[in-house]
Amino acid sequence: MESSKRRLPVPPALIGFVVLLVALTGLSYGAGRMAGPVAPGMHRTVPAEQNQEPGMDMHGLSTVGDGAVVGR
């Protein structure tokens, strides 16, 4: 009687992959929390009010006279 055998609706390999993915994501998140922020002192140098046109953000690029931080 083959009908008495029940099959899983999802392949076991897929379940194992999802479990592994969740475990690695959790470990990665924990390691990131322990390491702390990458650049704790990083700030924008150009205030958002200086943008003249919407969609034309220069991502912090400005001339020296605009108060940009120059350094290495």
Q: Give the pLDDT confidence score for residue 13 in this predicted structure.
A: 95
pLDDT of residue 63: 56
pLDDT confidence of residue 14? 95
Report field, pTM of the whole predicted structure over 0.75: no
> In angstroms, what CA-CA distances link 72 with 34, 61, 64, 68, 69?
28, 15, 14, 13, 10
pLDDT values of the chain reduced to their tens digit, one per residue, 72 residues: 455 678 879 999 999 999 999 999 999 999 999 998 887 777 766 655 555 555 655 566 655 555 555 555
